[in-house]
Amino acid sequence: MKRKDYDVIYPHPLPAGVVLEKNGMVKMRDGVKVVLDVYKPTDGKGPWPAILAYSPFQKERFFESAKPAFYCPNGYICVQASERGIGLSQGQFSFHGAKAAQDGYDLIEWIAKQPWCNGSVAMMGASGYGVTQWKTAPLNPPHLKALVVLATTDNYRGLCYPGGVLRRPFVLQLISMITQGAIWPGPLPGKEIPKNIIADILSNNEDGPFWWEHGGGWKQIEKIKSPILNVVSTPNRLHAYYHLRSYGSIKSPKKLVVTPWTNENYQPWIFETTSFNQYILRWLDYWLKGINTGIMDEPEIAIYANGTGQWRYEKEYPLARTKWEKYYLHGRTPPAEFGLVDKIQGEGEGEGQEKPQVFHNIGLNAQLIASYGMFLEEKKKGKSDAESRSGENDQPHFAVYASPPLEEDLRVWGPVSLTLYASTTEEVTADWSFFVKMGEMVSSGVPLNPVTRSPEIKPEVTDPWTPPEVQIWSWGCLKAKFREVDEKMSKPGMPWHSFQKPVDLKPNQVYEFQIELQPIFKTFKKGCRIWLKIACDDALYSTWDSSSRYVERPLSPLKNEVLIYHGKKHPSHLLLPVVPDKPEITPVKSPLRDAVPGAPRFTE
């Protein structure tokens, strides 16, 4: 069948005030034709500036990009385009490769020359729509005037192998969806079968040239000349880490907006909240229409303070006035429910003090444990929650720590890390990994959003062993064999691992592990407790990968004890970016001030 024979059903109705021109074909520099959709305003007279949404997803989907329902009535053209080899486009899809960047350049320059465009083009979008910006923008197309981006700058660390651990369920789901989109709607002239992206990802389980080409925006971000509005959704586990880490490397005019904790995957809040898109419109009007909206006169950084429900301006990120405070781990002493985390460093190891916290690395997916009904019996008398859900020999399969109730509010804004001293009795350590979750434990009930007064939305990392009174605010992982830290690349709260040349570790030997956690922008409230969980398995990951020494991961190795050490000799600790209060630079005004959880959406 030919392309014109397909009667494609678009997932959303055409908004009022918008006209759609479907399936325009644009020839790339090598002759491959990429298909795009153009959404135009029905009112007013062009030409107009254009917003390009360019991604590895089908162009017919509006998911993580500019919505014509808002931007067309405000005097913009919205263009939706897919990478080559996706949907109706020719060529071969290769997952954010070099040709995708060249195609992005060619699309921008083609759009700028059309009679309906005034020659000014922006790119906008999140996730796949954002990674393509990090790929295209370093080529500096002459007509690219601005970016609005929410995306990781590192597909290895942010997307597929965080901490060097394969995020297998997500990777398989994402890549299978993209591959289906590349095959859909069937054979077409000039279109090729997509590359075997799954095989590429699984065979490149260390960082290196493959990842630097396929989504390694951090390597070239300094070359970008276009102004960048950086939008960071703190609960998103894929993009926040390395977008924030790379922010300081951006040399072009820039702003950073850290949005409220509303939904882990940031839809629909960012792309449908009226007040937030009014703020983005001020950015676009300034750079694409030459209107002095005043946005560049405002402080560079805007942070939403989860815990208080207020926006605040700052001058830089990370904040210069940050006080890096260590919260030390101490072993659990019965009848205490948890180990202790506080600001007092222990004196050392020995009988009766600072004994290692011990748990079992059962090596079994936590979701499977729950589905099999294992370790979910009623809490055993006199045992902690972790112990009562124990495995063999009544040992827990994770360690939990909690602080005393906070004596005052604690503002934690910025990068977070955990330094851990640990050993294992397991003889094969190639798959040994750590999974860390950190949150706020309220004294009773469940954590509530300060604006909506509804329960906080739980992130996906929440598992069956997370108490209902705990809201997880940060998480991270590390494969032990990648523990070596590059001190030159590291910053406070941001240890840098090369994820190259792994070294297998010896059993029964204590090692130091520096684990980067999700950045936090949260005020922990007086009377609440800091809560920390450390485990060696997690349902969202696979510790077994293509370089494992096991043919398949055993359910429970014969020797599987993991020991967490504390005290002066082995000072395991959280490093928190505590930000002291100071007078506001200037109050945040509407529309950004109004962009809070529960704010009106223009689709409603």
Q: Mean pLDDT over residues 538-542, rounded?
A: 91
pLDDT tens digits for 293-304?
Answer: 999 999 999 999
Amino acid in position 480: A
Q: How many CB atoms lie within 10 A of CB 603?
A: 14
pLDDT tens digits for 313-348?
Answer: 999 999 999 999 999 999 888 778 899 999 988 765
**Residue 377: pLDDT band with limits 50, 70, 90:** very low
Per-residue confidence (pLDDT) for residue 378, from 0 to 100: 36
Q: Are 193 and 174 in contact (CB under 8 A)?
A: no
Q: Mean pLDDT over residues 116-121, rounded?
A: 98
Per-residue confidence (pLDDT) for residue 553, from 0 to 100: 66
As a whole number of angstroms, the distance between CA 355 and CA 332 comes to 9
Which secondary structure element, helix H or strand E, spans residue 385, and what is its range? helix 385-388
pLDDT score of 381 more than 70? no
Q: Which two structure tokens, joined as six digits, stand for 302?
A: 């805007």
pLDDT tens digits for 434-446?
Answer: 999 999 999 999 9
Amino acid in position 136: T
Q: Are strands 561-565 and 357-360 parallel, antiparallel or unpaired?
A: antiparallel
Per-residue confidence (pLDDT) for residue 318, from 0 to 100: 95
CA 162 to chain centre: 10
Q: Which two structure tokens, joined as six digits, stand for 301?
A: 């950084």
As a whole number of angstroms, the distance between CA 96 and CA 516 comes to 26
Question: Which residue from 419, 390, 403 is spatially nearest to 572, judged by alpha carbons?
Answer: 419
Tokens 């500019």 belong to residue: 66
Q: Which two structure tokens, joined as six digits, stand for 447?
A: 């954590």
**Residue 95: pLDDT band with limits 50, 70, 90:** confident
Q: Which two structure tokens, joined as six digits, stand for 343?
A: 């600001």
**Residue 554: pLDDT band with limits 50, 70, 90:** low
Q: Residues 374, 338, 322, CA angle at the centre, nearest 5°?
A: 120
Q: Mean pLDDT over residues 271-286, rounded?
A: 96
pLDDT tens digits for 347-364?
Answer: 655 554 678 999 988 754
Per-residue confidence (pLDDT) for residue 350, from 0 to 100: 52
Q: How far is CA 289 from CA 49, 108, 110, 306, 478, in A?
A: 7, 17, 19, 34, 46
Per-residue confidence (pLDDT) for residue 62, from 0 to 100: 73
- What is the reported pTM? 0.92
**Residue 555: pLDDT band with limits 50, 70, 90:** low
Instruction: Identify any residues that bridge with 410 across adjacent strands, giving them in sequence order.
Output: 524
Q: Beta-strand (E) ranges in 160-253?
A: 228-233
As a whole number of angstroms, the distance between CA 29 and CA 27 comes to 7
As a whole number of angstroms, the distance between CA 131 and CA 127 comes to 6
As a whole number of angstroms, the distance between CA 600 and CA 598 comes to 6
Q: Are 319 and 414 in contact (CB under 8 A)?
A: yes
As a whole number of angstroms, the distance between CA 90 and CA 217 comes to 25
Among 73-87, 440-454, 554-568, the range scoring the smallest mean pLDDT is: 554-568
Q: Are 565 and 572 in contact (CB under 8 A)?
A: yes
Q: Which two structure tokens, joined as six digits, stand for 597?
A: 């959880």
Q: Are 155 and 239 in contact (CB under 8 A)?
A: no
Is 70 strand, coil or helix? helix
Per-residue confidence (pLDDT) for residue 521, from 0 to 100: 96
Q: How many CB atoms lie within 10 A of CB 404?
A: 10
pLDDT tens digits for 215-265?
Answer: 889 999 999 999 999 999 988 888 999 999 999 999 999 999 999 988 766
Q: Mean pLDDT over residues 202-218, rounded?
A: 94
Percent with pLDDT over 90 in the chain = 74
As a whole number of angstroms, the distance between CA 197 and CA 474 comes to 30
Q: Are 224 and 140 in contact (CB under 8 A)?
A: yes
First and final C-alpha spacing in the chain: 39
Q: How far is CA 530 from CA 78, 412, 524, in A?
A: 45, 11, 8
Q: Are 157 and 242 in contact (CB under 8 A)?
A: yes
pLDDT tens digits for 50-83?
Answer: 999 999 999 988 778 999 999 999 999 999 999 9
Q: Which two structure tokens, joined as six digits, stand for 306?
A: 């989860």
Percent with pLDDT over 70 in the chain = 90
Instruction: Identify any residues that bridge with 513 across adjacent strands, giving them in sequence order.
Output: 420
Per-residue confidence (pLDDT) for residue 282, from 0 to 100: 98
Structural domains in the chain, CATH included, are 17-317+588-594 (3.40.50.1820), 323-578 (2.60.120.260)
Per-residue confidence (pLDDT) for residue 388, from 0 to 100: 43
Q: How many CB atoms lie within 10 A of CB 521?
A: 25
pLDDT tens digits for 185-194?
Answer: 999 999 999 9
Per-residue confidence (pLDDT) for residue 6, from 0 to 100: 57
Q: Are 381 and 403 in contact (CB under 8 A)?
A: no
Mean pLDDT of the chain: 89
pLDDT score of 376 more than 60? no
Is 211 strand, coil or helix? helix
Per-residue confidence (pLDDT) for residue 80, from 0 to 100: 96
11 burial class (0-12, 13-18, 19+ CB within 10 angstroms)?
Answer: exposed
Q: Are strands 433-441 and 529-535 parallel, antiparallel or unpaired?
A: antiparallel
Per-residue confidence (pLDDT) for residue 264, from 0 to 100: 61
Per-residue confidence (pLDDT) for residue 15, from 0 to 100: 87
The dihedral formed by the CA atoms of 133, 475, 577 and 500, expressed in degrees to the nearest 10: -60
Q: Are 545 and 355 in contact (CB under 8 A)?
A: no
For the four alpha carbons of 157, 158, 163 and 168, in that order, the dihedral sign comes to: negative
